[in-house]
Structure 1
């Protein structure tokens, strides 16, 4: 029987009672499937139900074939090695004894002479040059993710389950994972916001509060289909608005005709030139007809209002964020920041940033790239004054704002609205609400407390508070802004940054994001 995963009438709710999905029916064949959806919709929970670490509240999960799951654990024993992670330490020890002429006949009979070459090949597939005896504790976070992925595919399972496999990986690591998935010929379910990785998929499954929708093809094909759906929904919205207006116009015309007929009947009754019995019969028919017309008009209006509400709800879900911001007034020739031969680090004699010089002029959009540990975040700390240079100089010459991964410029105890008023003390209530609405925090959504927001909402709120005021800062510094965001949130951030006319300094490994926000220069740290 071919490998497959089937979900039947599957339901799950959070401990607080919030339903993530109910009566879910879905089948995964031996294809590479990207699982996408907004943060908190239940993607990771669905993976855990499939792997068996969660038990369905109702429904059933059926797996035909073997599963491999990318481990998310970060703690390892001090002496644990790459070979231990792959589960081949004993087998490698047998090979070593065989090479030394110390292996028994029983050991020689079960020795796997291809093991070392297969181990090297698995590590090479994810771009790692690590020996079997390498201690895991000596690896960086990005290297650890890659070695875990290598250990996963080394087992050659029928299906692999990956939850955000490129998070915290540098550009080289992300490319290695994408290349591995492009060559993977088994089944895979991949939860990811990495659009380059999603381009290697055979299908995209979108999970929403309404259920799942499957789209054949990769990320680009999915986006094309979503664009068509958006155009169709816009058409439905316009049609529903037209029909409601038509229903209300006809209802008004009918009411006016009845009022004229009723007035004519009253005049005839007042004249007394027709039998009263005949007039009473006409009045009864008129009242019955009027009642029938009113009920028909009400049914039509209810239907039109329902269709309009449905169309508006779908347009809210599908409508991308479009932002218009006040200008920063940054001139093209204005010097924004200057770093002159600066060095800094955390341990004497071991600079993380060594004799770096950098300048940004006018509304340049500069990306800081480089491998994990190359000093990107350290450089941002130097620019914002958290660190002082050991030598050289750093100067930021315009008003700036820094959005780190925790968006720490926001007070978590305050609402989005109150944070906006705190950061923009001269803004009126109307200006505040209008600015927040441009970033899709409308009405009561603006009153959410920051500590209750998802990662994507928090970054969007930070952008709204910083860029939505009457005088946005002329320099915006961002540190890995797309980490842990769903794709809808990333695209909302992209829309906000596309509308910004100041200078940008961005640390990011997300090539698609950097292209979308119009980066003009890249500086790679080594």
Structure 2
């Protein structure tokens, strides 16, 4: 595999020619992939496990392809999905300006050695640019001398983005950049994306981010298909494609049935002709030589007829196969969960004078906060406000400093890390662990509704893709015995592809219990029928969807 870089003055673009990549164990990811990305904002979408993150790493030079050629005109900046910064690292070092800044301060202090001027180069305004970039991303308050350990996880993502923006790369590659960002931080990132002047490729499941791109590139089955416009335009184009594909399937199915009837009719006609010929032979109504020739011609004609109709049937079946292939099979989860039903007004959860382990208080208003009936609660708040701590406290995983969280119904908690499964066990056995009174056949029947059909349910959890692991975890939660009548989800859409988000939404449509969802994904929250919005910001108080946007996205 070869890799080349253009000059800074050439038109900025990224191309892949006949790109191939296999994992060390021989598992293929790409085979002869061709790709060309020009100026503007490109949203790269696709199912979990299709290779989006791998493709970005190949473009960034983090991975070496097995074969093919990558060409990048200009410099590249890459923001990976999994980002870990040394907590002892100073902010200026994380920005990549520590050396330049130190040399600048030395010159200002009177040390005019050549090495300091060489270190500064033409970058005399580096501190001003750094502070302006931090301020643009809402990080102006952190300063250049603090350490990474003093900032939140979401702020560290923005800090890494600030470092890229300071470098001013020609090509910017972002992999799920809004994961773990609160609404205000997301808005800052949206603004940065909209203002980006060069080539930008972003992998994301964040619909609001994808609404800000110029085009969508869909990676599917090792190939890229292009759709002009933002994500809404992509969805409309996809819906039109699927409508056409499904119509062609119906036409092809009808053609197959017609060809089957015509072949059957032909066989019946030939059978009648054969019986008539045999009758003539038996009755010897014509000379033997004439009847022999007629029989030979009938056999030739019958053979041609069979070949003709069989060929037409084969062609019709081939057209049907092609038509079916064009219809997407991104199945949705459809399951009935009557045991999760919570009657209206029934007590589900009570919080009394709660003070969380990290110090945040959840005040009792007036004496206790209650959740009753099948309510759907959206728990929102900035990063670090205590949403995860509150959910873990309710789930019994953390003890509060003061007060109590009393759960009155069976409850289950889905953490961000999806670490509920035993990797050494199959999907069936993982569900059996939480539903010991349910037979193996009953579990398998229910798992089919979560798209684990047949042998798929026997796969070890450790071999599942991200989307499959999510579905298996969701199945273990919802199929548990006793059935959960309070379900708590912590940032459930993080790292999920859009098909998995739709599957989650479909599963929650069948869920009849109480729901508490901590999330920054407002479009997802709006799609699952939230009945009450709660803001955790030093206190737990009612809010509205509009206030959520105004408060958490405000500058």
Corresponding residue for residue 389 of structure 1: 400
Deviations 1:500-520 (A, max 9, x none): 232111122222221121222
Corresponding residue for residue 439 of structure 1: 450
Task: Tell me if 1:459 matches 2:446.
Answer: no
Distance in 1 (alpha carbons) for counterparts of 2:25 and 2:270: 55
Q: CA deviation at 1:366?
A: 0.7
- Superposed CA RMSD in Å reads 2.5
Corresponding residue for residue 336 of structure 1: 348
Corresponding residue for residue 351 of structure 1: 359
Gaps of 5+ in 1: none
From 237, 243, 258, give the equivalent of 1:231.
Answer: 243
Corresponding residue for residue 71 of structure 2: 62
From 158, 171, 177, give the equivalent of 1:159.
Answer: 171
Distance in 1 (alpha carbons) for counterparts of 2:360 and 2:192: 31
Q: CA deviation at 1:205?
A: 0.7
Closer, same or farther: CA 268–417 of 1 in aligned 2, 3 Å? farther
Distance in 2 (alpha carbons) for counterparts of 1:447 and 1:314: 29
What is the DSSP-based 3-state SS (H/G/I as helix, E as strand, rest coil) of the residue aligned with 1:83? helix
Closer, same or farther: CA 315–203 of 1 in aligned 2, 3 Å? same
Gaps of 5+ in 2: 1-9, 538-555
Could you tell me whether the CA contact under 8 Å between 1:377 and 1:507 is conserved in 2? Answer: yes
Closer, same or farther: CA 448–145 of 1 in aligned 2, 3 Å? same
The TM-score normalised by the length of structure 1 is 0.91
Give the 5 Å matches for 1:32-431.
32-70=41-79, 73-76=83-86, 78=88, 80-97=89-106, 102-104=110-112, 112-129=123-140, 130-317=142-329, 319-321=330-332, 323-327=334-338, 328-345=340-357, 351-355=359-363, 358-425=369-436, 427=438, 431=442
Q: CA deviation at 1:411?
A: 3.9
Closer, same or farther: CA 389–471 of 1 in aligned 2, 3 Å? closer
My pick for the range that moved more, 39-48 or 350-359, is: 350-359
What is the DSSP-based 3-state SS (H/G/I as helix, E as strand, rest coil) of the residue aligned with 2:488? strand
Corresponding residue for residue 494 of structure 2: 483
Q: CA deviation at 1:267?
A: 1.4
Distance in 1 (alpha carbons) for counterparts of 2:250 and 2:411: 42
Q: CA deviation at 1:248?
A: 0.9
What is the DSSP-based 3-state SS (H/G/I as helix, E as strand, rest coil) of the residue aligned with 2:359? strand
Deviations 1:474-505 (A, max 9, x none): 22111221122222111211121123232111
Q: CA deviation at 1:296?
A: 2.3
Distance in 2 (alpha carbons) for counterparts of 1:77 and 1:463: 34
Corresponding residue for residue 514 of structure 1: 525
Q: CA deviation at 1:212?
A: 0.7
My pick for the range that moved more, 114-123 or 466-475, is: 466-475
Could you tell me whether the CA contact under 8 Å between 1:459 and 1:481 is conserved in 2? Answer: no
Closer, same or farther: CA 490–5 of 1 in aligned 2, 3 Å? same
Q: CA deviation at 1:27?
A: 0.8
Q: How many aligned positions are there?
A: 519
Closer, same or farther: CA 58–291 of 1 in aligned 2, 3 Å? same
Closer, same or farther: CA 151–344 of 1 in aligned 2, 3 Å? same
